[in-house]
Amino acid sequence: MSNLSDLLAQKAVLEKQIADAQREARAGAIAKVKALMAEHGLTPADLASKAAPPAQSAARKGRKVAPKYRDPATGATWSGRGLQPNWLKAALAAGRKLGDFAL
């Protein structure tokens, strides 16, 4: 069991060394960033206000598409995109045509 306790002690020493190294690396990175900001005359507000514009595809995401087909009985609509709704499938199976529901 002394082997296990020795290994646990080594683990604790190593974890402390890792934490110290991470703290030093972080402090160095902060110092570099502060030096670059001072060199170029930047403030934290400059960094926050210069957000990248959203991608064009992200701006289009979530837009509604105008309906192309309407069920006259219920008023349900379908844009023509994606799977056909059940009301339209049933009507087409009953012999109606897609053009009968066009707006």
SS3 43: coil
Q: How confident is the model at residue 33 (pLDDT cuts 50, 70, 90)?
A: very high
pTM to 2 decimal places: 0.41
> Do residue 45 and residue 60 come from a single domain?
no
Question: How many domains in the chain?
Answer: 2
| pLDDT surpasses 70 at 58 | no
48 in Cβ contact with 58 (< 8 Å): no
Average pLDDT over every residue of 2-29: 94
Q: How confident is the model at residue 69 (pLDDT cuts 50, 70, 90)?
A: very high
Alpha-carbon Rg for the chain, nearest whole angstrom, is 32
> Do residue 45 and residue 63 come from a single domain?
no
Question: CA-to-CA distance for 73 and 90, rounded, in angstroms?
Answer: 13
Average pLDDT over every residue of 75-86: 91
| pLDDT surpasses 60 at 50 | no
What CATH number should be reported for the domain holding residue 82? 4.10.430
- Single out the residue in 34, 49, 64 at which a domain terminates: 49
H or E element that contains 39: helix 2-40
Residue 101 burial (10 A CB sphere; 0-12, 13-18, 19+): buried
**Residue % of the chain over a pLDDT of 70:** 86
Q: Which DSSP symbol is given to 34?
A: H
Structural domain boundaries, residue 32:
2-49
Q: How confident is the model at residue 54 (pLDDT cuts 50, 70, 90)?
A: low
